[in-house]
Amino acid sequence: MPKKKRYAALLARLMATGAALSIGGIGMAAHAQIAAASAEADAGEAIVVTGLRGLSSKTAVESPAPIDIVPADRLTGTGRQEIGEALARTLPSINFGRTGAGVASIVRPIFNRSLPPAYTLILVDGKRRHNSALLTNGGGDTSGFGPVDLDFIPIAGVRSVEVLKDSAAAQYGSDAVAGVINFVLNDRPQPNHVSVTYGDHYKSYGDPWSAKAEGGLGFGLGDGGYVNLSGDLRGRGMSWRGFRATNRLLYAPASNPKNAAWDGIGAHNGDPRIRAFNLGLDAALPAGDVTLYTQATFGRRKAEIGNMIRRPSGTASFSTVFPDGYFPVNNTSETDFQFLAGIRGDLSGWQWDFSSSYGRNQVRMYSDLTLNPSLGPTGPTSFDNLARFRFSQWTNNLDVSRDIDIGLAKPLHVQWGLEARREVFQTFAGDPLGYANGGYVIKAGDQEGNPNVGSIASIGAQGAITISPATTAHVSRNVFAGYIDLGLTITPRWYVDIAGRAEHYGLGAGSTVGGKVNSRYELSSWLAVRGTVGTGFRAPSLSQIGYAQTDNRTAISPATGLLVAATTQTAPTTSALATALGAATLKPEKTWNAGLGIALQPTRNLSLTIDGYQIDIDDRIARTASLSGPALNAIFAANGLPPGTFVQYFANAADTRTRGVDIVGNYTADLSTLGQLSLSAAYSYSRTKIRHVAATPAALVGLGPNPGGSLVAFGNVFRGEIADNQPRSKLALASKWSLDPVSVDLRVTRYGRYRYLRTENPAQNLSYGGRWITDLEVSLALTSRLGVAVGAANLFSVRPDNSGVNEPTSGVTLFNYGSPPFDSSGGFYYGRINWTF
765 has pLDDT over 60: yes
What gap in Å lies between CA 23 and CA 190, rounded to an integer?
A: 13
Nearest Cα neighbor of 466 from 385, 580, 577, 370 is 385
Average pLDDT over residues 300-324: 94
Using an 8 Å Cβ cutoff, are 118 and 624 in contact?
Answer: no
pLDDT of residue 26: 31
55 has pLDDT over 50: yes
pLDDT tens for 392-435 read 999 999 999 999 999 999 999 999 999 999 999 999 999 999 99
Query: Distances in Å between the alpha carbon of 432 and those of 321, 473, 532, 637?
Result: 21, 17, 54, 20
Q: Which amino acid is at 359?
A: G
Using an 8 Å Cβ cutoff, are 49 and 43 in contact?
Answer: no
pLDDT of residue 115: 92
pLDDT tens for 6-46 read 434 434 433 333 333 222 333 333 443 333 333 333 333 45
Nearest Cα neighbor of 653 from 757, 723, 730, 756 is 723
On the 0-12 / 13-18 / 19+ scale of CB atoms within 10 A, 527 is middle
pLDDT of residue 587: 94
603: number of Cβ within 10 Å? 9
816 has pLDDT over 60: yes
- Give 803's pLDDT tier (boundaries 50, 70, 90): confident
pLDDT tens for 481-490 read 999 999 999 9
Nearest-10 Cα torsion for 54, 87, 300, 146: -80
pLDDT tens for 324-362 read 999 999 999 999 999 999 999 999 999 999 999 999 999
Longest CA–CA separation in the chain, Å: 92
The total of structural domains in the chain comes to: 1
* Residue 806 per-residue DSSP state: -
What gap in Å lies between CA 832 and CA 76, rounded to an integer?
A: 10
- Give 149's pLDDT tier (boundaries 50, 70, 90): very high
pLDDT tens for 69-108 read 888 888 877 777 788 888 888 888 898 877 666 667 788 8
3 has pLDDT over 80: no
What gap in Å lies between CA 605 and CA 103, rounded to an integer?
A: 46
Return the CATH number at 199: 2.40.170.20
pLDDT of residue 653: 94
pLDDT of residue 136: 79
Which three-class secondary structure state does DSSP give residue 433?
helix
pLDDT of residue 59: 76
The 3-state secondary structure of 87-154, one letter per residue = HHHHCCCEEECCCCCHHHHCCCCEEECCECHHHEEEEECCEECCCCCCCCCECCECCCCCCCCHHHCC
The 3-state secondary structure of 51-95, one letter per residue = CCCCCCCCCHHHCCCCEEEEEHHHHHCCCCCCHHHHHHHHCCCEE
pLDDT tens for 41-53 read 333 345 566 766 5
* Residue 442 per-residue DSSP state: -
Using an 8 Å Cβ cutoff, are 293 and 418 in contact?
Answer: no
pLDDT tens for 516-528 read 999 999 999 999 9
pLDDT of residue 221: 95
Q: How many helices (H) and strands (E) does the chain have?
A: 13, 40
pLDDT of residue 823: 83
Q: Characterize the bridge pairing of strands 205-206 and 225-236.
A: unpaired
Q: Which amino acid is at 645?
A: T
pLDDT tens for 487-513 read 999 999 999 999 999 999 999 888 989
**Partners of 772 in the beta sheet?**
750
**Partners of 333 in the beta sheet?**
302, 364
pLDDT of residue 385: 97
Which three-class secondary structure state does DSSP give residue 48?
coil
Instruction: Select the more confidently predicted residue: 550 or 606.
Output: 606
Residues ≥6 apart with Cβ < 8 Å to 702:
none
What gap in Å lies between CA 282 and CA 185, rounded to an integer?
A: 8
Using an 8 Å Cβ cutoff, are 31 and 293 in contact?
Answer: no
pLDDT of residue 550: 83
Nearest Cα neighbor of 611 from 92, 97, 58, 115 is 92
Using an 8 Å Cβ cutoff, are 642 and 437 in contact?
Answer: yes
What gap in Å lies between CA 121 and CA 438, rounded to an integer?
A: 45
Using an 8 Å Cβ cutoff, are 272 and 304 in contact?
Answer: yes
Q: Which helix (H) or strand (E) holds 14?
A: helix 2-17
Residues ≥6 apart with Cβ < 8 Å to 71:
46, 159, 160
What gap in Å lies between CA 132 and CA 129, rounded to an integer?
A: 10
Nearest Cα neighbor of 733 from 718, 717, 745, 719 is 745
What gap in Å lies between CA 497 and CA 486, rounded to an integer?
A: 6
Q: Characterize the bridge pairing of strands 193-201 and 209-221.
A: antiparallel
**Partners of 596 in the beta sheet?**
531, 612
Using an 8 Å Cβ cutoff, are 89 and 746 in contact?
Answer: no
Nearest Cα neighbor of 399 from 415, 420, 380, 385 is 415
* Residue 821 per-residue DSSP state: S
Average pLDDT of every residue of the chain: 88
What gap in Å lies between CA 33 and CA 414, rounded to an integer?
A: 15
Instruction: Select the more confidently predicted residue: 61 or 11.
Output: 61
What gap in Å lies between CA 166 and CA 29, rounded to an integer?
A: 18
Average pLDDT over residues 784-798: 95
What gap in Å lies between CA 112 and CA 106, rounded to an integer?
A: 19
What gap in Å lies between CA 558 and CA 568, rounded to an integer?
A: 14
750 has pLDDT over 90: yes
pLDDT tens for 182-214 read 999 988 998 999 999 999 987 788 899 999 999
Using an 8 Å Cβ cutoff, are 792 and 778 in contact?
Answer: no
| 50-54, 219-223, 710-714, 724-728, range with the lowest pLDDT | 50-54
652 has pLDDT over 70: yes
For 762, the domain range is 2-836
